[in-house]
Amino acid sequence: MFKRTDQSDGNTSFLPEDYIVRQTERRTNLIALTLFAIVIFGVVAAFFVTNRQWSAVKQQQESINARYTEAAQQIEMLKTLERQKEQKLGKAELATVLIEKIPRSLLLADLINRMPEKLALLEFTLTSTKVEPPPASASPAPGKPRSLAGRAIASATGKQDEPDTTPKPPTYRSTLTLVGVAPSHEDVSQYLASLQASPLLRDVTLRFSEFTMLDNRELIKFRIDAALDAAADARSIEPLTATRAGAFDTGRVAGVDGSGEPEEER
């Protein structure tokens, strides 16, 4: 029952052996409980810290989503303003189509003032044809790649990119044909070069130049084709000073009415 230690060891204990064992076990259990409590406290603290971090991340996500929604509304408003601007520009272009940039009287005056003195026109034809736009493709165009921000904005607004339905103003291509006579090829070449320098015309081409008999006189009959420059604006062009010494023949010229305005076939 009792434990006795030899006196030569310098330590003598008279406590029962089972009491010492229980004390040792109690001390061991206390240390184990303390360590277990520390571990539990660490787990709980880590849980609260992680939960707090997740709450902060969630708040940031909600803030970012709110800013994306606000940006999406601003972008949608900007798109609406751009569509209104395009519609107004389309209406303005439709209105400008009805206004001729090159008055026919100015065109006829330019053609006459560039004629050499001994050259005369027999026919003048002006034709305008509508340029049809290219047919739209049946298959939709592949969409552009969208970023995460773009997808988030589209998801927030619930709208996709709409096709452009703005009406396009019609465009016309005007061509003219000049048939006349001249005493020599030099006069024809001079008139051709003068027309090629005109800011109102483009693609000026001499179709033929050949001898012909008119009123028992041998003359050079020619034909010149040209197109009106669609980008030309008579308001920014200085009129050419008349270079012909004599008055233009008042005989009938094909394509010109009695008031001097050319007829237009459209």
Per-residue pLDDT tens for 10-26? 555 667 888 888 888 88
Residue 222 CA to residue 185 CA, distance in Å, equals 9
| Highest mean pLDDT, choosing among 55-59, 95-99, 129-133 | 55-59
Question: Quick one: angle between helices 148-157 and 17-98, nearest 10?
Answer: 80
Spell out the CATH class of 104-132+168-265: alpha beta
Per-residue pLDDT tens for 175-201? 999 999 999 999 999 999 999 988 888
Per-residue pLDDT tens for 72-91? 999 999 999 998 888 888 77
Burial class (CB in 10 A: 0-12, 13-18, 19+), 225: middle
Residue 113 near residue 158 (C-beta atoms within 8 A): no
Tell me whether strands 171-182 and 120-131 are parallel, antiparallel or unpaired: antiparallel
List C-alpha distances in Å: 229 to 71, 116, 175, 204, 232. Answer: 45, 23, 9, 11, 5
Mean pLDDT of the chain: 75
- Residue-level pLDDT at 75: 92
Q: Which two tokens stand for residue 132?
A: 């049809």
List C-alpha distances in Å: 46 to 40, 42, 49, 51, 59. Answer: 10, 6, 5, 8, 20
Could you state, in order of their start, the residue ranges of all structural domains in the chain?
Answer: 1-99, 104-132+168-265
Residue 126 CA to residue 178 CA, distance in Å, equals 9
Residue 223 near residue 207 (C-beta atoms within 8 A): yes
- Residue-level pLDDT at 134: 67
Give the residue among 188, 254, 177 at the shortest CA–CA distance from 220. Answer: 188
Q: Is the pLDDT of residue 8 over 50?
A: no
Q: Is the pLDDT of residue 144 over 60?
A: no
- Residue-level pLDDT at 161: 53
Mean pLDDT of 130-146: 57
